[in-house]
């Protein structure tokens, strides 16, 4: 049995993997509306060795290209670690 998350009394317990993420074959209309409403997003990157970098992005730099692809304009920042990882 995998890890489980303790929930308040009376709630059913779910496997942690069910709470962490879901996979979808493509972006739905609901996903597209949610993305369009956001003011910022985060990009997480890591090299094989070293630390993980999570950078906030925004200023209208994200584009949905189609239901299976998104792209963002990577603007330089305090060290542009995202670019180094990608």
pLDDT tens digits, one per residue of 1-60: 455 555 566 666 666 666 667 788 999 999 999 999 999 998 888 878 878 888 888 878
Q: What is the pTM of this model?
A: 0.60
41-45, 63-67, 77-81, range with the lowest pLDDT: 77-81
Distance CA 67, CA 27 (A): 5
Give domain limits for the chain.
13-85
| Beta strand extents in the chain (DSSP E only) | 4-5, 14-15, 40-46, 52-58, 62-66, 69-72
- What integer pLDDT is reported at residue 17 of this predicted model? 63
What per-residue confidence (pLDDT) applies to 18?
A: 63
- Residues β-bridged to residue 69: 66
Return the residue matching tokens 């630390």. 51
């Amino acid at each position: 049995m995998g890890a489980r998350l303790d929930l308040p009394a009376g709630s059913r317990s779910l496997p942690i993997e069910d709470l962490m993420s879901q996979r979808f074959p493509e972006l739905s209309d609901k996903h597209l509306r949610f993305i369009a409403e956001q003011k910022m997003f985060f990009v997480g990157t890591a090299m094989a060795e070293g630390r993980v970098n999570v950078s906030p992005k925004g200023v209208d730099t994200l584009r949905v290209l189609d239901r299976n692809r998104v792209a963002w304009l990577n603007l330089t920042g305090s060290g542009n670690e995202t670019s180094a990882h990608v």
